[in-house]
Structure 1
């Protein structure tokens, strides 16, 4: 074990940091895009019948292919990875935002209107808070998926834990594969646990009581 850390410790620590940075930046961008687009689609449900199926088809494109196409256009630069990962991270958030907002019971919206709230106030003070547990669940999926997708960054020479995985596969070295795979799995667990805590924080008290019944 000491020999492994002596040989790969510095490189592993660097790749873990790079991998984590890819995930944090991509998920943040994807969350912002998904939230905005989900809100917009919830305001005009007619568009969703066209846009959501198109996005679903787009989502089926393998990440390897998407990053490869961006690599042809932009080359081996960091925006290539960030854009690709952000787009994939956006989908779960978009769908959950749209579903969560439309799932808010009409009585709450009518009550908000009865209190004199504008459409903008109703959205941000009633609909989004009630939909937030569903939205955060989409964020959790996005984060966990992105941890695995970020492995593809090494394919175009942009480091990350995929470096160890690809080197291990190329040299038939199981130790290198595990050095890349195990930290990636731990990162996914850590991100998932952190977002679970966030979900508990943002869930309105009334919904917590209903779930506890």
Structure 2
């Protein structure tokens, strides 16, 4: 069977598995953002809390992916939920680290200027700190997205599908074409996500630089 015949026969399956792959990855990233950014904000308020949160996240990162899946599977069972939670946990580190670093390194003079204008702490956070830290935050989200999309292939071990399922079919039947049918779309997704968020990151960086030049 040549490549064209293979794609014709399995195209429907590839599209379906790609959809599952994207669903799990996107869900994990959204959860990581929803959890990671508030955690990073909390970390900026208390150094001890920052150290504790960082330590917990670092410990999670050291757990092998299969082991983490099995641990979560004990509580959530087989399926999408287990895979999404595992991917979200793996994606937390770059989001938390970059958001924390971005907020902590905002120009103090900008914060003082905002405070001098009578801004509340919440206004300083949303109108000064977050806009200026956005390029660094987006860099963390970019890394997290690449991690999630690339790691989603392991979801097949807990019955969650995705492109990893096609790869496993190829491995179990020693079929190189099935392996490539899963691996190539997965690689393309990683590259596409990286490029897409990279463009958003560049635009955010340009806006911050333009705003700094204007205020100077």
TM-score when scaled to structure 2?
Answer: 0.91
Query: Structure 1: 5+ residue runs without aligned partners?
Result: none
**Where does 1:1-213 land on structure 2 (aligned, <5 Å)?**
1-203=3-205, 205-208=207-210
**Contact 1:16 / 1:161 at 8 angstroms: preserved in 2?**
yes
Q: Output the aligned Cα RMSD.
A: 1.7
CA deviations over 1:110-163 (Å, ceiling 9, x no partner): 111111111111111111111110000000001001012110111122210001
SS of match in other structure, 1:203? helix
Query: Structure 2: 5+ residue runs without aligned partners?
Result: none
**How many angstroms does 1:12 deviate by?**
0.6
Cα distance change of structure 1 residues 127 and 209 upon mapping to structure 2, 3 Å threshold:
closer
- C-alpha separation between the residues in 1 aligned to 2:15 and 2:135? 33
- C-alpha separation between the residues in 2 aligned to 1:31 and 1:37? 10
CA deviations over 1:80-138 (Å, ceiling 9, x no partner): 11111112122210111111100112111111111111111111111111111000000
Comparing 12-21 with 83-92, greater Cα deviation is found at 83-92
**Structure 1 runs of 4+ off > 6 angstroms?**
none
**How many angstroms does 1:11 deviate by?**
0.7
CA deviations over 1:45-84 (Å, ceiling 9, x no partner): 2321232123212211112111111122222132111111
SS of match in other structure, 2:119? coil
TM-score when scaled to structure 1?
Answer: 0.93
- C-alpha separation between the residues in 1 aligned to 2:82 and 2:197? 26
